[in-house]
Copies of this chain bind each other. A is one copy, B any other.
Amino acid sequence: MTLEMHPQRWGDPAHAAPLPASTHALVDAFLGTRDTPASDGATLPEPGLSADLLDSLESLLGAGAVLADDETRRLRTRGKSTPDLLLARAGDLGDAPDVVVRPRTHEEVAAVLGWAVEHHVAVVPFGGGTCVTGGLAAVRDGFAGLVSLDLVRMDRLLDVDQVSMTATFQPGVRGPAAEAMLAEHGLTLSHFPQSFEFASIGGFAATRSSGQSSAGFGRFDEMVVGLRVATPVGELVTGSSPANAAGPDLRQVVLGSEGTLGVITEVTVRVRELAPEKAYEAWAFDSFAAGADAMRHLVQHDLRPTVLRLSDETETMVNLASQSEVGGEGISGALMIVGYETPGALRRRETVTAALGELGAKPLGEERGAAWARGRFHAPYLRDSMLDVGVLVETLETATFWSRRQALYDAVRAALESHLPGALVMCHISHVYETGCSLYFTVAARQGDDPIAQWHAAKSAASDAMVGSGATITHHHAVGTDHRPWLAREIGEVGVAMLRGLKGAVDPTGILNPGVLIP
């Protein structure tokens, strides 16, 4: 089944489930609910590109690859942050592109860039459209127009190397399609971020995505061994080898560049054999802190499962209440999900299980783990249902070293709670490293009169807390426009100068995603 995107919701309404009664009751009790339907009407701004420019674009790519109809433009407007959805639900499509172009090859992408440089048109590369940090809302001021460079037709698996265990994809391949194509070869990529159903291979690379199985499979930037990139000054090909000492690693410059340095047209990734068996299980710890210490012990002692995630006490309470099919009576503290998705991880299972027992965890069995695995891409649909009942739900995330985890958690939580009185602030750790971990916060608050302003104030305070704690502004959501001021603080003036130096080298007229990422 191919899921369809929806301009006002996370994903396919046909796939979404209504809020479970137990969750609705919980939310009603804590926050209060009220029907808050999305607006039916929406007015698109007039396409701003001249007919001459449209004609020249069509002559490059063919008429079928140049789309200016309302529905296509609606679906390429902004991303999927809660403010994005709130604007869309209110009928505000002010950031719509003038036109959507759909190249099929590297050469066609390069041709679009050449055209855009010639006519000074801003170009926004578009993969899965799941960005939650404003990375699709480029600044159009000073440009002759704004083109959404939609990679949806670059959807092929170009090469499989079963000896090196690599695969080369075009950037528009979505997560499920990539897995399906690899499965025909007995292979898997196993990059499973929550956006998996919609997000694209190129987007994973451009934003340094990290998936739910990162404990075992690593971050997406660790999976990438090669990239082909179209830039306004020519083609860049990286990836002569798995690793090398041939100067600064240019792969690691393109990874995370969010379409500001070039358009990724091919991605070569490490793949692995499809596992014949997987297992998930749940464990309970007395506290979030105790569970975090256990995670730290596992990764610092070469005892990694494939999935390792831990909810704090509040998130545990909400999860248990909403998993009515499993039953959560009598469980408290912090819930940990442990998943084994590779033969190697399964070989370690006995040792990991023994270690968890010694670290104070109580086993909750496989049923609750399997329930997590079944619903692993479900949370964003719940957000749609919550918005429908007037509850603002949004997430933000960061990462730090283990010794600063508690201080960062306290600081971000305090910032959110002080700006959103009465809100539910939940947190989990879902990405672990030997030296530290991510912290992923979910906030649910009753919507005020101006929920966007309400959220922005809270998010700004939380972002200040992150950077003020010496942590990163984003572990895996990327920078976009939303995090740009804090990125500048995180990397400092010299870091900003380095990004600008790179930008000037490959995009001297600044047509690529203007206003995104680079301070």
Chain A residues with a Cβ under 8 A of chain B: 161, 163-166, 207-210, 219, 221, 225, 229, 231, 233-238, 240-250, 252-258, 261, 270, 272-273, 296, 300-303, 342-345, 347, 351, 398-404, 431, 433-437, 470-479, 483, 487, 490-495, 497-506, 517-518
Contacts and interface: CB of A to CB of B under 8 A. Distances in A.
B161 A235 contact: no
A241 B165 contact: no
A257 B249 CA distance: 9
A218 to B, nearest CB: 9
A240 B270 contact: no
Contacts of A502: 248, 498, 501-502, 505
B399 A237 contact: no
B242 A434 contact: yes
A435 B270 contact: yes
Contacts of A225: 401, 435
Contact of A165 (B343, B345, B435, B473): B435
21 contacts: A161-B403, A163-B403, A166-B435, A208-B249, A219-B243, A221-B249, A233-B494, A234-B492, A236-B495, A237-B492, A241-B401, A242-B437, A243-B431, A243-B475, A244-B473, A247-B478, A253-B253, A253-B498, A270-B435, A302-B342, A498-B502
B477 A250 contact: no
Given A240-B470, A243-B475, A245-B208, A250 B344 contact: no
Contacts of A300: 165, 272-273
B505 A238 contact: no
A241 B344 contact: no
Contact of A234 (B219, B243, B436, B494): B494
Number of copies: 2
Given A164-B436, A231-B494, A401-B166, A245 B241 contact: no
Contacts of A272: 300, 434
Among A272, A273, A347, A505, find the residue whose CB has the most chain B CB atoms closer than 10 A: A505
A434 B270 CA distance: 8
Contact of A238 (B296, B434, B491): B491
B246 A474 contact: yes
A154 B476 CA distance: 35
Contact of A246 (B210, B470, B487, B506): B487
A345 to B, nearest CB: 8
Nearest to A433: B242
Nearest to A240: B472
A491 B254 CA distance: 13
A493 B343 CA distance: 43
Contacts of A436: 164, 241-242
Nearest to A486: B246
A159 to B, nearest CB: 11
A344 B487 CA distance: 37
A233 B494 CA distance: 7
B492 A235 contact: yes
Nearest to A466: B240
Task: List the 9 closest pairs (A to B, CB-CB), nearest first.
Answer: A302-B344, A501-B505, A252-B252, A242-B433, A241-B399, A208-B245, A164-B401, A244-B472, A163-B403
Contacts of A473: 244, 246
A271 to B, nearest CB: 9
Contact of A483 (B163, B246, B493): B246
Given A241-B401, A246-B483, A399-B242, A506 B501 contact: yes
The residue among A221, A246, A272, A471 with the most chain B CB atoms within 10 A of its own CB is: A246
Contacts of A491: 236, 238, 246-247, 250
Given A237-B492, A498-B502, A502-B502, A248 B244 contact: no
A500 to B, nearest CB: 6
Among the interface residues A402, A431, A498, which one has the most CB atoms of the partner chain B within 10 A?
A498
A56 to B, nearest CB: 25
A255 B246 contact: no
A476 B238 CA distance: 17
- Residue of A235, A245, A471 with highest tally of chain B CB at under 10 A: A245
Contact of A245 (B244, B344, B475): B475
Nearest to A467: B240
Nearest to A248: B253
A480 B244 CA distance: 14
Nearest to A477: B245
A517 B250 CA distance: 14
Given A255-B249, A343-B302, A435-B164, A244 B493 contact: no
